[in-house]
Chain A
Amino acid sequence: AQKVTQAQTEISVVEKEDVTLDCVYETRDTTYYLFWYKQPPSGELVFLIRRNSFDEQNEISGRYSWNFQKSTSSFNFTITASQVVDSAVYFCALSEGGTGRRALTFGSGTRLQVQP
Chain B
Amino acid sequence: DARVTQTPRHKVTEMGQEVTMRCQPILGHNTVFWYRQTMMQGLELLAYFRNRAPLDDSGMPKDRFSAEMPDATLATLKIQPSEPRDSAVYFCASGLPPSGPSYEQYFGPGTRLTVT
Contact stretch, chosen from A41-49, A53-61, A72-80: A41-49
Size of chain A's interface in residues, with CB distance under 8 A?
22
A39 to chain B, nearest CB (A): 9
Q: How far is the CA of A37 from the CA of B35 in the complex (A)?
A: 14
- Checking A43, A95, A99, A106 against B43 with a beta-carbon cut-off of 8 angstroms, the contacting residue is A106
B45's closest neighbor in chain A, by CB? A103
Residues of B within 8 A of A98 (CB): 98
Q: Known: A102-B95, A102-B98. Is A108-B89 also a contact (CB below 8 A)?
A: no
Q: Please report the C-alpha to C-alpha distance between residue A109 and residue B43 in the assembled complex, in whole angstroms.
A: 9
Smallest Cβ distance from B80 to chain A, in angstroms? 24
- Which of B33, B98, B99, B102 has most chain A Cβ within 10 Å? B98
Shortest CB–CB separation between residue A112 and chain B, in angstroms? 16
CB distance from A103 to the nearest CB of B (A): 5
Report the separation of the CA atoms of residues A104 and B92 in the bound assembly, to the nearest whole angstrom: 12
Give residues 60-116 of B contacting A (CB, 8 Å): 89, 91, 93, 95, 98-99, 102-110, 112
Chain A: residues with CB nearer than 8 A to chain B? Answer: 33, 35, 37, 43-47, 50, 91, 95, 98-99, 101-109
List residues of chain B with CB under 8 Å of any chain A CB. Answer: 31, 33, 35, 42-45, 48, 55-56, 89, 91, 93, 95, 98-99, 102-110, 112
